[in-house]
């Protein structure tokens, strides 16, 4: 029987990143994927009508283009091409122009009006050290490479987003823009460290405008897989794993899975206490998503919104905070905060000539069964009158659909689990090495390990570094 140095269960960005890092050290690595195609959260397909290419989960990749690991890999040589918009974020507001967040600090500040000076004071001390900040924050706890910058970031990011936005900004425009960035945390805005996500997303937007992948998000994992294969790795698809005895012989196994699957698959190889802690993991709210085939671009009241790859739809700080509070506490907002993506505005391969794709999701209680279609489309219509008339077809993805599509999306949670103070630094459980388990042969490399959700591959990279200590 063949013996591998490492077997990785799951072929998403983290699994393939772990595989690449191990293969770069001449380890014999096998990646096993349950589905018939690789990809995890980075798959692209025709969800609505022929010729309309939709990203099933991830769509815009601020962390992908800035990933401290991926920037060291020859992914462009293997087919990955980033397409950059004029702006990362547009934030529509009623009865006034939209706010635009772009790579230019000055242009963003100008868009914020009276809050522009406060925005400059927020980002300019940190921005020159952005790459180091990402290296320090996209990993497990440890001694930072730039302790003073991380301390400056931490003093601000440790605050609740609601408190921070009100202290930093005096007007609705600055508060709304920050709220939209903080909404990616999937946390109530009264939680400690919810401001950190808002700060990180703001900083990344000034490092590079948030890009889409040419041809669809599937090209991200295709490039990773092609490089992995070039390094001598192996990939097997269509092989769901439910027990360790289904695997070939190997020295280590890395789980690109949620903690529940780790506990179930390796149940005979892990102590009961550790499995109990895994099974108490909190995934937080789920996601309800809509994809549209559109006859034309979304008719935003302010046409400048079309310049951004991502649109934060939700109005004011107070409205967005209420929506995120509701999802966390088991309620459905009538005016949900939306993260909308406009890939076809920048990548014409996504739709037939002259037509477009659209994508938006909101946060809902874990496992929700409520249809949020009307609430989402009404919210878009609020800032883009006539939007509903452009819809040629729609595809809905409920929390149950997400969980069926990818077993890691428990209850429809797409970020690997809640990033509140109880799990921000101790995911999936509190251990000196969070990627290790009590079994020295088993590791977790999914986004349920640090640094958490996002298409950046850093969970896989750090888990591979941990496994290499075992492999030698």
As for how many domains the chain has, the answer is 2
Share of the chain above pLDDT 70, in %: 100
- In eight-state DSSP terms, residue 193 is T
- In this prediction, residue 143 carries a pLDDT of 83
Same domain flag for 207 and 219:
no
Cβ-in-10-Å burial (0-12, 13-18, 19+) of 389 comes to exposed
Same domain flag for 273 and 419:
yes
Distance, in Å, from the CA atom of 328 to the CA atom of 351, rounded to the nearest integer, reads 35
Q: Are 24 and 17 in contact (CB under 8 A)?
A: no
Which residues fall within 8 angstroms of residue 423, CB to CB, at 6 or more apart? 281, 282, 417
Same domain flag for 428 and 394:
no
Token duo for residue 198: 């808002």
Q: Is the peptide bond before 428 cis (omega within 30 degrees of 0)?
A: yes
Residues in the chain, pLDDT under 50: none
Q: Are 75 and 223 in contact (CB under 8 A)?
A: yes
Same domain flag for 300 and 386:
yes
Task: Examine residue 444 and state whether it is found in any structural domain, yes or no.
Answer: yes
Task: Examine residue 26 and state whether it is found in any structural domain, yes or no.
Answer: yes
Residue-number span of the structural domain to which 22 is assigned = 3-81+213-281+415-471
Which CATH number do you get for residue 124? 3.90.660
Task: Examine residue 15 and state whether it is found in any structural domain, yes or no.
Answer: yes
Task: Examine residue 100 and state whether it is found in any structural domain, yes or no.
Answer: yes
Q: Is the peptide bond before 451 cis (omega within 30 degrees of 0)?
A: yes
End-to-end CA separation in angstroms for the chain: 22
Same domain flag for 59 and 132:
no
Task: Examine residue 378 and state whether it is found in any structural domain, yes or no.
Answer: yes
130-137 and 147-157 are packed helices; what angle lies between their axes, rounded to 10 degrees? Answer: 70
Cβ-in-10-Å burial (0-12, 13-18, 19+) of 183 comes to buried
Is residue 246 classed as helix, strand or coil in its secondary structure? helix
Task: Examine residue 410 and state whether it is found in any structural domain, yes or no.
Answer: no
Last residue of a domain, one of 405, 424, 451: 405
Same domain flag for 259 and 316:
no
194-207 and 130-137 are packed helices; what angle lies between their axes, rounded to 10 degrees? Answer: 140
Same domain flag for 296 and 276:
no
Which CATH number do you get for residue 465? 3.50.50.60
Distance, in Å, from the CA atom of 447 to the CA atom of 6, rounded to the nearest integer, reads 19
Is residue 9 classed as helix, strand or coil in its secondary structure? strand
Specify the length of the chain in residues.
472
Q: What are phi and psi of 455, to 5 degrees?
A: -95, 90
Distance, in Å, from the CA atom of 304 to the CA atom of 65, rounded to the nearest integer, reads 24
Beta strands in 300-409 (DSSP E): 308-313, 338-341, 356-364, 391-397
Query: What DSSP assignment string belongs to 138-174?
Result: SSSS---SSHHHHHHHHHHHTS-HHHHHHHH-SSHHH
pTM: 0.96
Beta strands in 261-315 (DSSP E): 286-294, 308-313
Token duo for residue 214: 């040419």
Same domain flag for 152 and 301:
yes
Same domain flag for 95 and 139:
yes
H-helix or E-strand containing 4? Answer: strand 3-9
Distance, in Å, from the CA atom of 92 to the CA atom of 386, rounded to the nearest integer, reads 15
Angular region, 127: left φ>0, alpha ψ -120 to 50, beta rest = alpha
Same domain flag for 339 and 205:
yes
Same domain flag for 181 and 288:
yes
Token duo for residue 90: 């547009």
State the alpha helices, DSSP H only, in 238-361. 259-265, 272-278, 317-328
Q: Is the dihedral of CA 387, 391, 395, 396 positive or negative?
A: positive
Last residue of a domain, one of 381, 405, 429: 405
pLDDT tens for each residue of 202-239 = 999 999 999 999 999 999 999 999 999 999 999 999 99
Same domain flag for 194 and 95:
yes
161-168 and 194-207 are packed helices; what angle lies between their axes, rounded to 10 degrees? Answer: 60
Angular region, 454: left φ>0, alpha ψ -120 to 50, beta rest = left
Distance, in Å, from the CA atom of 288 to the CA atom of 400, rounded to the nearest integer, reads 9
Distance, in Å, from the CA atom of 200 to the CA atom of 259, rounded to the nearest integer, reads 26
Last residue of a domain, one of 405, 430, 449: 405
């Amino acid at each position: 029987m063949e013996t591998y140095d490492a077997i990785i269960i799951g072929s998403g960005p983290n699994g393939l990143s772990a595989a690449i890092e191990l293969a770069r050290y001449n380890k014999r690595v096998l990646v096993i994927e349950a589905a018939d195609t690789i990809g995890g959260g980075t798959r692209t397909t025709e969800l609505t009508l022929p010729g309309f290419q939709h990203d099933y989960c991830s769509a815009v990749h601020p962390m992908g283009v800035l990933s401290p690991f991926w920037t060291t890999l020859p992914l462009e040589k293997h087919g990955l091409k980033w397409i950059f918009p004029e702006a990362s974020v547009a934030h529509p507001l009623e009865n006034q122009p939209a706010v635009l967040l772009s790579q230019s600090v000055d242009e963003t500040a100008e868009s914020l009006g009276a809050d522009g000076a406060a925005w400059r004071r927020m980002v300019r001390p940190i921005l020159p050290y952005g790459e180091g900040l990402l290296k320090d924050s996209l990993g497990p706890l440890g001694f930072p490479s730039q302790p003073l910058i991380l301390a400056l970031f931490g003093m601000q990011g440790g605050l609740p987003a609601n408190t921070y936005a009100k202290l930093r900004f005096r007007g609705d425009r600055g508060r709304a823009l920050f709220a939209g960035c903080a909404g990616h945390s999937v946390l109530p805005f009264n939680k400690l460290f919810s401001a950190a996500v808002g700060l990180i997303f703001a900083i990344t937007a000034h490092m590079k405008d948030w890009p889409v992948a040419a041809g669809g998000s599937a090209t991200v994992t295709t490039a990773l897989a092609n490089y992995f294969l070039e390094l001598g790795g192996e990939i097997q698809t269509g092989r769901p794993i439910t027990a360790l005895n289904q695997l070939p012989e190997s020295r280590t196994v890395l789980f690109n899975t949620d903690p529940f699957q780790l506990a179930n698959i390796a149940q005979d190889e892990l102590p009961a206490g550790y499995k109990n802690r895994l099974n108490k993991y909190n995934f937080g709210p789920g996601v309800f998503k809509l994809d549209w085939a559109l006859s034309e671009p979304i008719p935003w009241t302010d046409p400048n919104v079309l310049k951004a790859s991502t649109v934060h739809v939700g109005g004011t700080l107070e409205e967005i905070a209420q929506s995120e509070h509701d999802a966390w506490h088991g309620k459905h907002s009538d005016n949900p905060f939306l993260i909308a993506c406009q890939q076809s505005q920048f990548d014409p391969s996504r739709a037939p000539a002259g037509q477009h794709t659209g994508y938006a999701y909101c946060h809902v209680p874990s496992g929700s069964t409520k249809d949020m279609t009307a609430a989402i489309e009404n919210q878009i219509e609020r800032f883009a009158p006539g939007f509903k008339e452009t819809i040629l077809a729609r595809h809905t993805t409920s929390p149950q659909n997400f969980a069926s599509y990818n077993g890691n999306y428990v209850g429809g949670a797409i970020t690997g689990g809640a990033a509140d103070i109880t799990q921000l630094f101790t995911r999936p459980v509190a251990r000196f090495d969070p990627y290790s388990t009590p079994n020295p042969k088993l590791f977790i490399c999914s986004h349920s390990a640090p640094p958490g959700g996002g298409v950046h591959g850093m969970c896989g990279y750090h888990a591979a570094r941990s496994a290499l200590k075992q492999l030698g």
